[in-house]
Structure 1
Amino acid sequence: MAAPAPAAAPFDANVPPPAPAAPDAAQNGGWTGSGEFGFASSRGNSHTENANAKLGLSQENELWKNNIYLNGLRSKGETSVTDADGNTVDRFSTTANRYDTGASVGYKFDPRSYIVTAARYEHDDFGANLWQGIVSVGYGYIALKNDRAELSFEVGPGYKRYQPAKSTRPELNADGTPVVDPVTGAAVSVPYTPNTEGEVVGRSLINGKYRLTENTALEDTLLIEAGSKNQYYQNDIGLSVSMTKKMALKLGYQIRYNSDTQPGTVSTDKLMTTNLVYNF
Structure 2
Amino acid sequence: MNRIVIALLALAPVCVSAAEWKGEGELGYTSTAGNSDAETLNAKLAVTVEYDQWKHVLGLSALQASSNKVRSAERYEFTHKSNYAYSDKSYVFASLRYDNDQFSGYDYQSSLAAGIGSQLIKTAVHSLDVAVGPGYRSMQDSVTGQVDNRVILKLDAQYAYQISEYASLSEVLTVESGSDNTYTESITSLKMKINGNLSSKISYTIKQNSVVPVGTERTDTLTSVSLVYGF
Paired position in structure 1 for 2:107: 130
Matched, 1:94 2:71: yes
Per-residue CA shift, 1:244-272, capped at 9, x if unaligned?
12000000100000112111110000000
Partner SS for 2:49: strand
Contact 2:207 2:219 in 1 (8 A): yes
Structure-to-structure mapping, 1:62-101, within 5 angstroms: 62-78=52-68, 92-101=69-78
Q: Distance in 2 between matches of 1:69 and 1:110?
A: 25
Contact 2:25 2:44 in 1 (8 A): yes
Q: Distance in 2 between matches of 1:232 and 1:240?
A: 26
Q: Which structure's residues are more often strand, by fraction?
A: 2
Amino acid at match of 1:254: T
Paired position in structure 1 for 2:158: 207
Matched, 1:264 2:194: no
Partner SS for 2:41: strand
Q: Number of matched residues?
A: 210
- What is the deviation of 1:111? 1.1
Picking from 64, 69, 92, the partner of 1:115 is 92
Amino acid at match of 1:259: S
Matched, 1:153 2:130: yes
Paired position in structure 2 for 1:9: none
- What is the deviation of 1:146? 2.7
Contact 1:211 1:217 in 2 (8 A): yes
Picking from 17, 30, 34, the partner of 2:24 is 34
Contact 1:128 1:258 in 2 (8 A): no
Question: Looking at both structures, which has the greater relative contact order when contacts are Cα pairs under 8 Å and sequence separation is at least 6?
Answer: 2
TM-score norm. by structure 1 comes to 0.71
- CA RMSD across the alignment: 1.9
Partner SS for 1:265: coil
Paired position in structure 2 for 1:18: none
Paired position in structure 1 for 2:34: none
Partner SS for 1:243: strand
Q: Distance in 1 between matches of 2:30 and 2:158?
A: 29
Contact 2:30 2:222 in 1 (8 A): no
Share of identical aligned residues, percent? 30
TM-score norm. by structure 2 comes to 0.86
- What is the deviation of 1:144? 1.5
List structure 1 runs of 4+ shifted beyond 4 angstroms: none
Paired position in structure 2 for 1:85: none
Structure 1's unaligned 5+ residue stretches are: 1-26, 42-47, 79-91, 167-192
Structure 2's unaligned 5+ residue stretches are: 1-16, 32-37
Q: Distance in 2 between matches of 1:269 and 1:40?
A: 13
Partner SS for 2:195: coil
- What is the deviation of 1:230? 1.0
Contact 2:99 2:110 in 1 (8 A): yes
Paired position in structure 1 for 2:149: 198
Amino acid at match of 2:173: L
Amino acid at match of 1:111: D
- What is the deviation of 1:32? 1.1
Q: Distance in 1 between matches of 2:20 and 2:125?
A: 18
